[in-house]
Amino acid sequence: MNALFCALLILSLPFAGASCGSASVQQTKAVEARPASTVAKEVVVLTTEHPTGSFKIDRALLLRPPEVLEISVTKVVNHTANPVDIFVYVSAEKDKTDSEKELVGTFSLYPADRPGKFMLSPAAAFRKFSETSKSSTAELLFEMKVGAENKPVEVTIEKPNGLDNQN
């Protein structure tokens, strides 16, 4: 009799656990619905065929640059995990020659097939560009360099936080 009672008790444990807040049970409280953001972030997509992309910068922002640019890589397609380096420049919109662009900074994806967030300090590059450039327009230019050039890679980057002139 005791053996039968123990067997029934052991078999009923999963049912008792379900009503005691078991991890496998869904939440019973109503979750507050949050409206989805209707503002779509501007993005650039860098590929091995088109390794550059840019965002326009207000010239006034060059004179009062943000302390930090937060750059979000939101999607990476890199099945062979080739090394990926991203170079970030402030540049004249029309003229992308080396004489008309200043390096803001670089970052590498690690792991090479995963998205991430990166911080760059643009103040020195923005200041130098505003002092030396005669262009009336400016942009933040992203240039992707991949270790194995013949392998397809795609990187999606959101418009960096701090790029909008909110000062």
Per-residue pLDDT of the chain (167 residues; tens, 9 = 90+): 666 656 655 666 555 554 444 444 444 444 455 555 556 789 999 999 999 999 999 888 988 999 999 999 999 999 999 999 999 999 997 755 556 899 999 999 999 999 999 999 999 999 999 998 888 889 999 999 998 767 899 999 999 987 765 44
In degrees, rounded to 5, the angle at the alpha carbon of residue 73 between the alpha carbons of residues 69 and 77 is 160
Q: How far is CA 49 from CA 55, 98, 138, in A?
A: 19, 21, 24
Q: Which pLDDT belongs to residue 144?
A: 96
Asked whether 160 and 89 are in contact (CB, 8 A), the reply is no
Each domain of the chain, given as residue ranges in start order, spans 51-160
Chain Cα centroid distance, residue 69? 11
Output the furthest CA–CA distance in the chain (Å, rounded).
Answer: 95
* Distance between CA atoms of residues 146 and 152, nearest Å: 9
pTM summary value: 0.73
| The predicted structure's pLDDT at residue 13 | 54
- Going through the chain in order, the beta strands assigned E by DSSP cover 43-47, 52-57, 69-77, 84-91, 101-108, 116-120, 138-146, 154-158
Of 2.60.40, 1.10.3470, 3.40.50, 1.10.530, the CATH number of 51-160 is: 2.60.40
Whole-number pLDDT of residue 19: 46
